[in-house]
Structure 1
């Protein structure tokens, strides 16, 4: 059995993994879902990784799963603990020394119109759940956004990438190219929008378990 370490994206919380957690626990796995200190004006990227490492404690057989902006944190965790696998779920892939705020321009990201947040990030999430998610959002403090990513190389851990074919934020064609250039791997693709942990929790949990 494995311990799945679940890292949320920007403005999110551990609450966003609440549908995936029981799916994994039902198969005998341990789950650690962490609230990153995104609202803390004094917290940098190292503090985000510290929060995850502290929550993991002395657990072993770790599978670190990072969603969206959490892609800047997952590899830092894997550089500090012995992880068996890193899984990036429609996530940002950092380069050495790259601040998160520079990632958008460096990758050629083209932002969609953001007048309807649900339509961009949760178009396939049940409406009642999407409305509830909108009440849980958190402001992302600036410090961690402007700090250079501290690693000089990708951590020595097998890495998988889950690409969402219906993602309206990190669109498939854009993300396939980023994954190719920055990781050199072929992503696994699922039919989901940007928030598969909310729209396809059973499918995402099954895919995560299939990696073991």
Structure 2
């Protein structure tokens, strides 16, 4: 049995993972999906990592840390502070050590323009009622401290996997394939669908996550 530590992205809450949690728990695993203080101007990446570490508590075995989108900045910091066995990044931002979130776009050569409202961009393939609930539950993302250098000093010595989504309107697959290769030397695994597979394809995402720990 693994314990999946599920870290949400910008302006979101742990609820984002609830369907994946149900799938993983049904397969005999434990899950943790904390809310990050992303709407707090006083909180930055260190405080995001603090929230995750508090939620993990005294668990020390079978930890799989999973970061979605902006959660890709928090997840490797957490892996320096807990005995993680695996790090998984989903539709992610993949940070370099010491990099500020606000510097990421230029540093990775991001030149893609996204158009449309929140549902069109983030939840294009999520059932309409579920997408509306996701928007309602979301929190405003504070940018007050996103210009600070990440406390990450080096990539954690933890096996790392990257999952990208073939229809992602925010991080197009060619872009993420290149960044994963350049920054981690990794060829990503791929799922159909848009930027939020935990809501649009929870069963497929859970099965892929489980496959990483079952071999």
Which band: TM-score by shorter chain?
over 0.9
> Cα–Cα, structure 1 residues 111 and 136, in superposed 2: closer, same or farther, change >3 Å?
farther
What SS does the corresponding residue of 1:34 show, helix, strand or coil?
coil
* Aligned 1:151-166 pairs, distance under 5 A: 151-166=152-167
Residue 111 (structure 1) shift: 3.8
The yes-or-no answer on 1:203 pairing with 2:208 is: no
Residue 142 (structure 1) shift: 2.3
* Separation in structure 2 between the aligned mates of residue 186 and residue 113 of structure 1, nearest angstrom: 24
Q: Which residue of 2 aligns with 1:55?
A: 55
* Separation in structure 2 between the aligned mates of residue 123 and residue 42 of structure 1, nearest angstrom: 32
Q: CA RMSD in A?
A: 1.0
* Aligned 1:35-114 pairs, distance under 5 A: 35-59=35-59, 60-114=61-115
Q: TM-score, normalised by structure 1?
A: 0.97
* Separation in structure 2 between the aligned mates of residue 74 and residue 152 of structure 1, nearest angstrom: 13
Q: Residue deviations 1:143-170, cap 9 Å, x none?
A: 3311101122101100000011111110
| Structure 2, unaligned runs of 5 or more | none
The yes-or-no answer on 1:30 pairing with 2:30 is: yes
Residue 188 (structure 1) shift: 0.5
Residue 113 (structure 1) shift: 3.4
* Separation in structure 2 between the aligned mates of residue 144 and residue 76 of structure 1, nearest angstrom: 16
What SS does the corresponding residue of 1:97 show, helix, strand or coil?
coil
* Greater CA drift, 184-193 or 134-143: 134-143
Q: TM-score, normalised by structure 2?
A: 0.96
Residue 116 (structure 1) shift: 1.9
Q: Which residue of 1 aligns with 2:7?
A: 7
* Separation in structure 1 between the aligned mates of residue 116 and residue 88 of structure 2, nearest angstrom: 30
* Separation in structure 2 between the aligned mates of residue 210 and residue 64 of structure 1, nearest angstrom: 14
What SS does the corresponding residue of 2:137 show, helix, strand or coil?
coil
**Structure 1 runs (4+) greater than 3 angstroms displaced:** none
Q: Which residue of 2 aligns with 1:143?
A: 144
